[in-house]
Amino acid sequence: MIKVLFWARGKPGQSADEFRRYWLEVHAPLVRDRLPGLRRYEVNIATGAPQGEPLVGGVAVLCFDSEEAFARATASPEGREVLRDLRNFTSESGAMFVEEHRVL
């Protein structure tokens, strides 16, 4: 399995509640139901930061069988639809493959 961390910032002028609602009620079901090969999907919405404002509005965790499976998923018509939808609620976003190391 490969884990992909995806981060997103809301659009300027968009409230935190609008960002949260769109991600959880519109985008997340689209990802869950349409992205081929998705094995796990978790959305983490920022609620604050120890100092100042959070750097991003939220982080999602997506799991696929491999980097190739992720590439196929995002290149598919359904994957392109999911990626296009990001423009509806984010000003900036990015993703990275990560290797998990459980310490506790």
The confidence band for 2, taking pLDDT boundaries of 50, 70 and 90, is very high
**pLDDT given for residue 81 in this prediction:** 97
Region 59-83 average pLDDT? 98
Mean pLDDT of the chain: 97
**pLDDT given for residue 47 in this prediction:** 96
- Which residues fall within 8 angstroms of residue 4, CB to CB, at 6 or more apart? 61, 62, 63, 64, 70, 95, 96, 97, 98
- Model-level pTM? 0.94
Whether 46 contacts 56, CB under 8 Å: yes
**pLDDT given for residue 65 in this prediction:** 98
| Domains located in the chain, CATH noted | 2-98 (3.30.70.100)
pLDDT digits (tens, 9 = 90+) for 8-31: 999 999 999 999 999 999 999 999
Whether 35 contacts 79, CB under 8 Å: yes
- Say how far apart CA 44 and CA 23 lie, in whole Å: 10
